[in-house]
Chain A
Amino acid sequence: MAASQTALPGNAMAGILRDAALYALVTFGLCVPIIAYRTDPGPGTELVLVPRWGLVAALCAAIFVARIVQRLVLLRRDARRALTPSPAQATEAVHGEPDAGQKTSKVGLSLFIAVALTLPMIAALATGGLSSARYWIDLGILILTYVMLGWGLNIVVGLAGLLDLGYVAFYAVGAYSYALLSTTFGLSFWVCLPLAGLFAGLWGMILGFPVLRLRGDYLAIVTLAFGEIIRLVLINWTDVTGGGAGISSIPRATFFGIPFTAGDNGFAATFGIPYDSMHRLVFLYYLILALALITNFVTLRLRRLPIGRAWEALREDEIACRSLGINTTATKLTAFALGAAFGGFAGSFFAVRQGFISPESFNFLESAIILAIVVLGGMGSQVGVAIAAVAMVGGPEMLRNLGFLKAVFGEGFDPNEYRLLLFGLAMVAMMVWRPRGLISVRLPSVSLGERRAVSGAHVSEGHG
């Protein structure tokens, strides 16, 4: 044992060096087309190539060293683990991450709700006034919209295991439902909100019926196509939807009938407080917060009902479900329709907040972001989705504020331009270190003793 340990480094070191050299070579290959030459505008109209081989060499060297360090760290960690065997037995229960996940979930959710409830106050206090807090409240609304969309999609993808790449279609149906109903029939937001959810849910059913016989990749492709079809219909059906120009001057939200105007029958006058244009924004903030929390509450509740358990069972094994008398088509449809309905609610909120909608807001990238939020958060985990939404939507916003980077990289550096690059890096990092998402454990819906989380290793991700 000792002999093999001391003999290892010589042999292993050669392997590590070879490995690191390979990494450096790949880096070199990638660098040649991307970094080796820069095109600068020349004296005339032509471009001048500026070679940057020094930079390429530096990058390759950096990767080489980083890989060696990584390998050595891993080697040491493996050796340490091997020397301290775990007391757990092979035949003992595999609880995975026992109570850690559960506690994080509980504490995380309360913390999230607490911060969310008080955000306008905190922002106002920190920035010294409600109007100067506008940016933060706007950001809060944006994040909460995605939290709600994430939670809605989580029913379909996380619980029922159906990969839906066209979720934005239902978001669009919701938004256009409100926009059209309010502009043509003059219905108020509070009437339109349930109708928008209903329409979106209905569309979910209509789409779901033929499509849910498909599985896995095929389901993903068809839902993707459905998302695009809705968008194209919105663009081309100009008589109704206004085409690419969209629908503008959508009625603003009212405080249950009382408009947020400076007039005598406005919100401020009714409640006897000085008028502030921010009131409307704060109201919208609490509105989306309430909608999101309702989504969360309903989902958590449903998980403990037979239908929720059937969704999860469906994700785990559809054939077994059928052998137990569960109508899998109906079960899938309810998941699809309910997820779509929440998307519709979020959509009508989007329309009332923006006051203007166009098909451009509902492109595939939106679907991809919502799906990424669900996957990064950990499929099926409510807290994970919330955290992922904050990171995915809030993160890029933060980049705008990293002005100090200009001091490091020079005046021409705009961190916002590297947004997608950092996005990609974060995704890769997640897939390497937490391939099952931020919160990969699953809480059982019912238990005899203490509720212990189920390790993600056992939980299936569904096959569509």
Chain B
Amino acid sequence: MSVAGINVLVEETRAIQAGQRPPLLALRDVSTYYGSIAALRGVDLDVAEGEIVTLIGANGAGKSTLMMTIFGSPQARSGTITYDGRDITRLPTHAIARLGIAQSPEGRRVFPRMSVYENLQMGAALHDGRFFAEDLEKVCALFPRVKERLNQRAGTMSGGEQQMLAIARALMSRPRLLLLDEPSLGLAPLVVKGIFDAIRELNRTDGMTIFLVEQNAYHALKLAHRGYVLVNGRVTMSGTGRALLDDPNVQAAYLEGGHAGPVGA
């Protein structure tokens, strides 16, 4: 069975699901401002339970702002964000995190003076460490590098290692919805492959819903069930990952010039 065949199958499942119940995360007409400057302008976006959704767009299009807006920092100035049927638009960030959303934010943001182990404990704080041992084993298997460095201060690790830790820390909270902002940034090719495999695996076996922003559009679209294209704070296109990959406009704007992959250029 080919990859494309599986994608079609996934799409069918999703279509059925979409009809059955509301999406896990839904943004309706969301606008976010920095001072008087609009960063997001009327964004509509859905993420269904069990889906991998990716957001692609140029630098400065507002992708990270969208991530942060879901997390309530900054809060959307207008529109609504619902999660699991609940309006979270005006909730403070910590309250949103308690609902089972975790994020590996832009710029890593590990706690530099705490050890790697303590960073992971912070990630697991939501569950009072009940699943800590089990989850620690899991993320260590995913990132052997993190395991090697458990007792080191996080700030002394290399940039790529901190990136792994940020993702590992997000996973420690056992999120229902995982937000990843450029997970592949600064990582070695082998690790990037590992992360994309892990995302797929988490989605398949644990049913984790994943929303990711990637500069590496080719890999992200190949991985995702569905994708959105963000241009100047607006969603201009959406569709299945495969459909966007095949779209000539997307190819011209986000795929050409580098890893062309099997997409005809």
Find out whether A and B make contact in their complex, taking CB atoms under 8 A apart as touching: yes
- Interface residues of A, Cβ cutoff 8 Å to B: 1, 4, 78-79, 81-83, 85-86, 88-92, 94, 96, 455, 457
The distance in angstroms between the C-alpha atoms of A343 and B61, with both chains bound, is 48
With a cutoff of 8 Å between Cβ atoms, the chain B residues found around residue A89 in the complex are: 37-38, 232-233
- B65: chain A residues within 8 A (beta carbon): 90
Which residues in window 32-64 of B have CB below 8 A to A?
Answer: 33-41, 58, 60-62
Residues of B within 8 A of A4 (CB): 80
Question: With a CB–CB cut-off of 8 A, which chain B residues contact A79?
Answer: 78
* Given A1-B29, A85-B41; A90-B62 close (CB under 8 Å): yes
Residue pairs across A and B with Cβ atoms less than 8 A apart, 13 shown, are: A1-B29, A79-B78, A85-B38, A86-B33, A88-B36, A88-B37, A89-B232, A90-B38, A90-B40, A90-B65, A91-B232, A96-B35, A457-B34
* Chain B positions within 8 Å of A78 at CB level: 77
Question: Within the assembled complex, what's the spacing in Å between the Cα atoms of A264 and B18?
Answer: 103
Q: How far is the CA of A173 from the CA of B87 in the complex (A)?
A: 62
Q: Which residues of B contact A (CB under 8 A)?
A: 29, 31, 33-41, 58, 60-62, 65, 77-78, 80, 232-233
How near does chain A come to B225, taking the closest CB pair, in angstroms?
Answer: 27
In the complex formed, the residue of B with least CB distance to A97 is B35
Is the pair B78, A86 in contact by a Cβ cutoff of 8 Å?
no
Contact B31 A85 (CB under 8 A): yes
Taking A83-B78, A90-B62, A94-B34 as given, write out 15 further A-B residue pairs in contact, using a Cβ cutoff of 8 Å, ordered by the A residue number: A78-B77, A81-B33, A85-B38, A86-B33, A86-B38, A89-B232, A89-B233, A90-B41, A90-B61, A91-B58, A91-B60, A91-B61, A94-B37, A96-B35, A455-B35
Would B35 and A82 count as touching, CB distance under 8 A? no
Q: Is the CB of A90 within 8 A of B37?
A: yes
Q: A86 touching B77 by the CB < 8 A rule? A: no
Task: Evaluate contact between B37 and A92: CB separation under 8 angstroms.
Answer: yes
Q: Pick the contact of B37 from A1, A82, A86 — CB < 8 Å?
A: A86
Residues from chain B with a CB closer than 8 A to the CB of A81 are: 33, 77
Chain A residues lying within 8 Å of B40, measured Cβ to Cβ, are 90
Query: Assuming A4-B80, A81-B77, A91-B232, is B36 touching A86 (CB within 8 A)?
Result: yes
> Nearest chain-A residue to B58 (Cβ)?
A91
Q: How far is the CA of A299 from the CA of B102 in the complex (A)?
A: 49
* B56 CB, nearest partner CB in chain A, Å: 15
Residue of A nearest to B89 (CB): A4
Of B34, B77, B233, which one neighbours A82 at CB under 8 angstroms?
Answer: B77
